[in-house]
Structure 1
Amino acid sequence: MCIRLREDLNIKKMSEVEATEILGWTYRAPYDFYNNTYSPEAVKEMIEGSYYTVFAADKGIIGFFCTGSAAQVPNDSYSYSDDYMDIGIGMKPEYTGQGNGRSFLAAVFSELQISYENQPKRLTVAKFNRRAQSLYEKFGFRMKHEFSKGSTEFIVMIQSN
């Protein structure tokens, strides 16, 4: 189910209804690591934080992204500097693993370019998620750091210009 996002894309600040839907998404293993649990606090964080919903004209919500501290993984060993714009992304489970990532991420970066044109970008991804790392590498990201949080290892990727 490959979708074309750039022509019919709409991005807006996340609403309570959208946050509730996104928190209910379930991914298949091993990506079930990204499953969330609904709570009023989680909804509040998403609608009050730097979260944005991505829509395709005839498909409804196809994903979301967040920026700043919302995109960082709290931990005890890696310190996020303010030198980069942190980005976190999530695509609706039914659209993952089908070649949609490139157009989705291109659309997100196009939107971010408006406000953060000259700020270098940073992504943090679970180390097991080779699929996402490969996508990010196509956009010029390279691994800069690794850290662990609990039993999960993460990779910090920086966009090289």
Structure 2
Amino acid sequence: MDYSLKKMTQQQAEEIAYQWHYPDEYRFYDMEADEEDLEEFLDADQRAEDYYVVEKNGQLMGFFCFHPKQHGKVEIGLGMKPEWTGKGKGLGFLQSGLQFVILNYRPSAITLSVAAFNKRAIKLYTKAGFAETGTFMQNTNGGCYEFVSMAWSPDSQHRENEETSKSQ
């Protein structure tokens, strides 16, 4: 897969927080858009062992955070460098993080939340085997926004692989 995950350094956290700016409605994902998120992201103690950068051929492509939850579930968060979004690189990027979490955490399920307006990301997550599990409202970025909860499990991936094999 050519992608590698490494612990996020303070310098990388600051680069992502202050230099990554997304276009149009995706500005919602700029780290500076929410003070609490920014504070957590920049605080090495709060990032702890949960934040990793993704590199490809030595170039910073994005980041993942992994938060273990009850019953063996792991919640993930992620961000791709703005210049790489919308260029067909998302699935490989996402699969690198999924492979990492599966190998290192052995989760019973992987969960994530995505802003409901972000149809592009929802389509990607669905393609990777995630299924929508609900919606909720969240106060963030100076307002209240709808989010979609999604989950991936080894069972759903196994079913998806079987369906792909049958259709070929």
Contact 1:15 1:47 in 2 (8 A): no
The total of aligned residue pairs comes to: 143
Greater CA deviation, 32-41 or 134-143?
A: 32-41
How much does 1:36 deviate? 1.2
- In structure 1, what is the equivalent of residue 117 of structure 2? 128
Question: Tell me, which stretches of 5 or more residues in structure 1 are unaligned?
Answer: 1-5, 70-80
> Is the radius of gyration larger for structure 1 or structure 2?
2
Partners of 1:67 and 1:26 in 2: how far apart?
23
Partners of 1:41 and 1:127 in 2: how far apart?
23
- In structure 1, what is the equivalent of residue 27 of structure 2? 32
Residue identity in the other structure for 1:11: L
> Which one has more relative contact order, counting CA pairs under 8 Å at least 6 apart?
1
2:151 maps to which of 154, 158, 161: 158
How much does 1:40 deviate? 6.4
Partners of 2:75 and 2:14 in 1: how far apart?
23
Contact 2:21 2:30 in 1 (8 A): yes
Question: Is residue 88 from structure 1 mapped to residue 77 from structure 2 by the alignment?
Answer: yes
Within 5 Å, give how 1:10-159 maps onto structure 2: 10-24=4-18, 25-37=20-32, 42-45=41-44, 47-58=47-58, 60-68=59-67, 82-83=70-71, 84-150=73-139, 151-159=144-152
Partners of 1:113 and 1:82 in 2: how far apart?
16
Partners of 1:65 and 1:114 in 2: how far apart?
15
Partners of 2:66 and 2:40 in 1: how far apart?
18
Residue identity in the other structure for 2:28: F
Deviations 1:58-91 (Å, cap 9, x if unpaired)? 4x2110000117xxxxxxxxxxx62321011100
Contact 1:19 1:47 in 2 (8 A): no
The two structures, once aligned, show a CA RMSD in angstroms of: 2.0
- In structure 2, what is the equivalent of residue 75 of structure 1? none
Query: TM-score, normalising length from structure 1?
Result: 0.80
Residue identity in the other structure for 1:57: N
Question: Tell me, which stretches of 5 or more residues in structure 2 are unaligned?
Answer: 157-168
Judged with a 3 Å threshold, the aligned counterparts in structure 2 of structure 1 residues 118 and 35 are, in CA distance, closer, same or farther, namely closer
Query: TM-score, normalising length from structure 2?
Result: 0.77
> Percent identical across equivalent pairs?
35
Partners of 1:16 and 1:47 in 2: how far apart?
10
